[in-house]
Amino acid sequence: MKIAMIGAGYVGLVSGACLADFGHTVVCIDRDPDKIASLNAGRMPIYEPGLDVLVAENVRQGRLAFRSTMREAVAEADAVFIAVGTPSRRGDGFADMSFVRAAAQEIAKSMSGFTVVVTKSTVPVGEGDEVERIIRETNPEAQFAVVSNPEFLREGAAIADFKRPDRIVVGTDEPRAEKVMREIYRPLSLNAAPIYLMGRRTAELTKYAANAFLAAKITFINEIADLCEEVGADVQAVARGIGLDNRIGSKFLHAGPGYGGSCFPKDTLALVKTAQDAGTPLRLVETVVAVNDQRKRAMARKVIKACGGSVRGKMIAVLGLTFKPETDDMRDAPSLAIVAGLQDAGAKVRAYDPEGMEQARPIMPTVELAENAYACAEGADAVVIVTEWNAFRALDLTRLRKSMSSSDSAPVLVDLRNIYDAKTAMEHGFTYEGVGRAVTKA
């Protein structure tokens, strides 16, 4: 099938490349001419493992192309996917629909014949109705159907998630649109990925409900971690103990510095606003948002406490800046609040991240950036692991210890992802503090 993908950002680029890999002909369209020029030159605007190879192969095969204008691609398309950004709106936290609505208007001007318009962007309940209204008002003669097809991609594992999904949610009650969507995803039938049909508004809400539930699991285990620290329990054992119950499951029960990224923060806020406007406030989700925001800053206080109550004049080495490993995404990353809190307390901060340095440089101008983990720790009074990159899972602790400050007190290792064993850290001369575990002093 012929597909036009409006937006060559994270969702649009990954989805377009994967659909092309299925054998469809895909044109990704983006208004940013520099992004299109980079893509045509083989340079990826984001870091996602395997994406560069996937894009290059499908461009070589003639199934994937990049353009800055949409008229021709939309006119020829059987389906047009809207995959533009829906950031949180300033002031009220509601999702900003301006990019979606602008795309809908442009699509309407270029459509030819029956076209399925698919909202891949995460949109509030009822936005599909608005997209339909805009298209109908702009082009009264257009033959089309608007479908909701939310994405469920994890950054760092997006290609695998697209090709081996748990489910494919399709919101439509239009038979022709259903037929087109089934044909688009037919290559996944060998994986037995279920296409779950529902109403358009139900599909829109399903996306938000899924992200809010996962955010709630993260927030729950983080609060349990705080309790564990006070009563002498181990949050990792608690998480395993409850996660073995298949009604609960083990995923998203890893205590840490709070959730971040492009989805959970903005989607929980948007869901809260939608519910408030509907007169049915979601108190649980409101609390999840508030607790998570407070937690990020609290992690800076945790580091300060581990350093004896003051970090003024001390060098703190931060390992990991992105909100999770295998991405360069810094949006709402816990590191932003942690670093700000440490600097406000008078600390000097040096940081290293395997992929996030370029993204971090303009938004952390006062942070010294290092070439690797050991250079980052050079002369530092404390090392703080913020992101659980594989590169940090097997550090040479003897070398790390020797790189650090040679003051009389034992150097501090604050492990906000619990990737090290406290006993091992202590044996290497560290004062160790994890999350939801007892403090262990060398």
Tell me the CA distances in angstroms from 214 to 152, 267, 294, 299, 328, one per residue in order: 12, 11, 18, 21, 21
Cβ–Cβ < 8 Å for 139, 167: no
Could you tell me which of 365, 336, 332, 321 has the C-alpha nearest to residue 87? Answer: 332
- Residues 155, 159, 161: CA angle, nearest 5 degrees: 75
Instruction: Write the CB contacts of 404 (distance below 8 Å, at least 6 apart in sequence).
Output: 317, 377, 378, 379, 380, 381, 383, 411
350: three-class secondary structure by DSSP: strand
Tokens of 418: 């619990």
Active site residue 263: yes
Phi, psi of 26 (to 5 degrees): -125, 135
Strands (E), 252-409: 315-319, 348-352, 368-369, 382-385
Give, as one character, the DSSP assignment of residue 88: B
User: Distance (Å, rounded) from C-alpha 399 to C-alpha 262?
Assistant: 35
Structure tokens at 393: 């899972």
C-beta neighbour count of 113 within 10 angstroms: 11
* Active-site hit among 18, 28, 228, 263: 263
Q: How far apart are CA 275 and CA 279, in angstroms?
A: 6
- Enzyme catalytic residues: 263
